[in-house]
């Protein structure tokens, strides 16, 4: 699992979050137990235990456990968001430099003090900083974490190996959840018209996952895209 790959996974979350939100029909308003979040930086052993646990409860894991058929998208969104926000909070706490403080009473001239105070204000308000309070979203956190993985400049120290691995683990879980949800959401519905080809087979429409819908014949396998009327396809 490379850092570059993890950063790409975070980009995917940023890019596809709106699709996920559209699919859900609304922004998440529920709270959900943080299934994948890190509230603090874990020891190697704790991390392995958690990884094993995650592995064990993965819906696609082998073994006789009830497979979840219908994933609630809002819950998935909240799980992803919680994990990303907690990761960003934990990383920011470690790598984000505190804002400069303008000290008073050091005998500076007024002008010098004004300048320092201005610098301190600008530093504290640096938009590259991760905000620990206020409105924070999953795409915000994904973007910020991707920037940290890519060592982009700002009031931060570079991530160390442990921190990179933690971010990568959260990115991988979040990306997998997102992709599985979007992928699973593609639906297949029968169309009450026979295939216009000699086979006269059953037509179905596939779509609903943000990708262009496609009509296909279950018998002859011909497909039609949205811009073509059935029968026009070669
Ligand atoms: Zn056909």
What is the rounded average pLDDT of the residues 215-231?
A: 77
Q: How far is the CA of 197 from the centre of ligand 1 (A)?
A: 5
Q: How far is the CA of 202 from the centre of ligand 1 (A)?
A: 7
pLDDT bracket for residue 82 (50, 70, 90): very high
* Residue 114: count of CB within 10 angstroms of its CB: 12
The pLDDT score that the predictor gives to residue 234 is 44
Q: How far is the CA of 182 from the centre of ligand 1 (A)?
A: 28
Question: CA separation (Å) from 181 to 10, 45, 80, 155, 178?
Answer: 16, 30, 11, 35, 5
Q: How far is the CA of 220 from the centre of ligand 1 (A)?
A: 4
- Asked whether 178 and 16 are in contact (CB, 8 A), the reply is yes
Which residues touch 100 (CB under 8 Å, ≥6 apart)? 116, 119, 120, 123, 124
| pLDDT over 60 (residue 14) | yes
Q: How far is the CA of 185 from the centre of ligand 1 (A)?
A: 25
3-state secondary structure of 214: strand
Predicted confidence (pLDDT) per residue in 140-199, tens digit: 999 999 999 999 999 999 999 999 999 999 999 999 899 888 875 566 778 888 998 899
The pLDDT score that the predictor gives to residue 186 is 62
Q: How far is the CA of 129 from the centre of ligand 1 (A)?
A: 57
Which residues touch 189 (CB under 8 Å, ≥6 apart)? 204, 205
Q: How far is the CA of 211 from the centre of ligand 1 (A)?
A: 23
Domain assignments of the chain as residue spans, ordered by start:
3-184, 187-225
Q: How far is the CA of 193 from the centre of ligand 1 (A)?
A: 11
Can you spell out the DSSP letters for 116-168?
A: HHHHHHHHHT-TTSPPSSS---HHHHHHHHHHHHTT--SSBPPP-HHHHHHHH
Q: How many residues does the chain have?
A: 234
Is pLDDT larger for residue 17 or for residue 57?
17
Nearest to 8 by CA among 197, 199, 179, 186: 179
Q: How far is the CA of 200 from the centre of ligand 1 (A)?
A: 5
Q: How far is the CA of 100 from the centre of ligand 1 (A)?
A: 70
pLDDT bracket for residue 89 (50, 70, 90): very high
Rg of the chain, C-alpha, whole Å: 24
The sign of the CA dihedral 57, 58, 63, 69 is positive
Q: How far is the CA of 209 from the centre of ligand 1 (A)?
A: 24
Q: How far is the CA of 223 from the centre of ligand 1 (A)?
A: 9
List the strands of the sheet with 187-194, edge to edge: 187-194, 202-207, 214-217, 223-225
DSSP 98: P
Q: How far is the CA of 227 from the centre of ligand 1 (A)?
A: 18
Of the chain, the percentage scoring pLDDT greater than 90 comes to: 37
The span from the first CA to the last CA of the chain, in angstroms, equals: 43
Q: How far is the CA of 216 from the centre of ligand 1 (A)?
A: 8
φ/ψ of residue 131, rounded to 5 = -85, 125
């Amino acid at each position: 699992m490379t850092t570059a790959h993890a950063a790409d996974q975070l980009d995917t979350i940023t890019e596809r979050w709106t699709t996920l939100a559209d699919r859900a029909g609304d922004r998440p308003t529920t709270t959900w137990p943080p299934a994948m979040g890190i509230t603090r930086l874990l020891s190697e052993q704790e991390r392995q235990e958690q990884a094993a646990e995650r592995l064990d409860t993965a819906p696609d894991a082998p073994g006789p456990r009830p497979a979840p058929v219908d994933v609630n998208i809002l819950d998935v969104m909240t799980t992803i968001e919680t994990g990303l926000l907690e990761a960003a909070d934990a990383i920011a706490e470690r790598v984000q430099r505190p804002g400069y403080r303008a000290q008073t009473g050091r005998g500076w001239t007024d002008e010098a003090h004004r300048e320092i105070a201005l610098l301190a204000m600008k530093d504290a308000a640096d938009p590259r900083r991760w905000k620990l309070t206020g409105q924070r979203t999953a795409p915000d956190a994904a973007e910020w974490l991707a920037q940290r993985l890519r060592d982009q400049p700002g009031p931060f120290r570079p991530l160390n190996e442990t921190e990179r691995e933690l971010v990568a683990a959260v990115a991988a879980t979040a990306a997998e959840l997102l992709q599985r949800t979007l992928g699973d959401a593609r639906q297949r519905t029968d169309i009450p018209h026979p295939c216009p080809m000699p086979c006269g087979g059953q037509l179905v429409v596939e779509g609903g996952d943000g990708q262009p819908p496609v009509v296909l014949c279950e018998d002859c396998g011909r497909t039609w895209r949205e811009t073509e009327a059935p029968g026009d396809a070669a």
